[in-house]
Structure 1
Amino acid sequence: MKTIESLLILLALGMLFGVTPCLAGDSTLKPLMLATTTSTAETGLLDKIVDVFAKEKGIELKYVAVGTGKALEIAKNCDADVVLVHAPDAEKAFVAAGNGLDRKEVMYNDFVLVGPKADPAKATGKDIRAALTRIHGDKALFISRGDNSGTHMLEKKLLKELKIEPAVSESYLESGQGMSATVLMAAEKGGYTLCDRASWKFFSANQGDKNPLAILVEGDPALLNRYSVMRVNPEKCTKTDPALAQVFLDWWFTPQAKEMINGHTKNGSTLYVYGPAPQ
Structure 2
Amino acid sequence: MSALSRRSGRRSVLAGSALALGAALVVLPAPAAHAATPFVVIGTSDVSDSNLVASVIEPRFEAAYPQYDLQYIAKGTGAALTDARNGLAAAAIVHAASIENQFVADGYSLEPYGRLVFWGDYVLLGPNDDPAGVAASAPNDIVAAFEKVAAAGAAGKADFVSRGGTPGTAVQERALWALTSGVATCAVGAPAGGGTRPKDPASPSTQCTSPDDTTPDPDGAPFPTWYHTGNAGSQATNVNIANTCSTATNPSGKCYVFTDRGTYKYLRSTGQAQNLKIVTRDNSSGARGGRDALINVFHAYAVNPAKFADPSTTKTDPVAAKLFLDFLTSPATQSAIGAHLASDGDAAFVPSASPQLSASFASTSFKAGRKTTITGTLANAVPGYPALGGVTVSLQEFSGSSPLSVPKTVKQATTDATGAFSMKYRVRPGKVYRVGTAENSKVELPNLNPPFGDLLAPASSPVGTASGVALRKVVDLKGPRVKVTGDLKPKPTSGKAKVTVYAAKKGQKLKKVGRLKVKDGKAAFSFTTSLPAGTWRFQVLYKDGAKLLPATSKTVTVKVS
TM category, shorter? 0.7 to 0.9
Match for 1:278 among 383, 387, 393?
383
Q: Corresponding residue for 1:196?
A: 260
Match for 2:324 among 239, 248, 259?
248
Letter aligned with residue 160 of structure 1: A
Aligned partners of 1:205 and 1:267 also within 8 Å = no
Shift in alpha-carbon separation, 1:248–1:137, aligned structure 2, 3 A: same
Shift in alpha-carbon separation, 1:230–1:24, aligned structure 2, 3 A: farther
Q: CA deviation at 1:266?
A: 6.4
**Secondary structure of 1:99's partner?**
coil
Shift in alpha-carbon separation, 1:86–1:24, aligned structure 2, 3 A: farther
Match for 1:50 among 58, 62, 79?
58
Q: CA deviation at 1:65?
A: 0.6
**Matches of 2:100 and 2:33 in 1, distance apart?**
37
Any stretches of 5+ residues in structure 1 without a counterpart?
A: 5-22
Match for 1:121 among 116, 132, 143?
132
Letter aligned with residue 89 of structure 1: S
**Matches of 2:32 and 2:262 in 1, distance apart?**
36
**Secondary structure of 2:335's partner?**
helix
Shift in alpha-carbon separation, 1:55–1:207, aligned structure 2, 3 A: closer
Aligned partners of 1:168 and 1:174 also within 8 Å = no
Q: Corresponding residue for 1:207?
A: 271
Q: CA deviation at 1:54?
A: 2.1
**Secondary structure of 2:134's partner?**
coil
Letter aligned with residue 179 of structure 1: Q
Match for 2:38 among 28, 31, 35?
31
Aligned partners of 1:202 and 1:266 also within 8 Å = no
Paired residues in the alignment total 257
TM-score by length of 1: 0.84
Counterparts of residues 143-162 of structure 1 (less than 5 Å): 143-162=161-180
**Matches of 1:158 and 1:233 in 2, distance apart?**
33
Letter aligned with residue 112 of structure 1: V
**Matches of 2:151 and 2:348 in 1, distance apart?**
32
Larger radius of gyration: 2
Q: Percent identity?
A: 30
Q: Corresponding residue for 1:261?
A: 337
Q: Corresponding residue for 2:236?
A: 180
**Matches of 1:59 and 1:75 in 2, distance apart?**
19
Any stretches of 5+ residues in structure 2 without a counterpart?
A: 1-10, 13-30, 186-197, 200-221, 246-253, 284-291, 353-380, 385-561
Q: CA deviation at 1:259?
A: 2.0
Residue 75, structure 1, aligned to residue 91, structure 2: no
**Matches of 2:39 and 2:333 in 1, distance apart?**
18
**Secondary structure of 2:175's partner?**
helix
Counterparts of residues 82-161 of structure 1 (less than 5 Å): 82-102=91-111, 103-124=114-135, 125=138, 126-139=140-153, 140-161=158-179
- Greater helix content: 1
**Matches of 2:32 and 2:167 in 1, distance apart?**
37
Bigger Cα displacement from structure 2, 180-189 vs 167-176: 167-176
**Secondary structure of 1:41's partner?**
helix
TM-score by length of 2: 0.43
Letter aligned with residue 239 of structure 2: V
Q: CA deviation at 1:61?
A: 1.2
Letter aligned with residue 212 of structure 1: N
Letter aligned with residue 35 of structure 1: I
**Matches of 1:227 and 1:66 in 2, distance apart?**
14
Q: Corresponding residue for 1:15?
A: none
Q: CA deviation at 1:141?
A: 0.5
Aligned partners of 1:201 and 1:266 also within 8 Å = no
Bigger Cα displacement from structure 2, 73-82 vs 164-173: 164-173
Aligned partners of 2:108 and 2:304 also within 8 Å = yes
**Matches of 2:50 and 2:280 in 1, distance apart?**
22
User: Which of the pair has the greater relative contact order for Cα pairs under 8 Å at 6+ separation?
Assistant: 1
Aligned partners of 2:79 and 2:167 also within 8 Å = yes
Q: Corresponding residue for 2:281?
A: 218
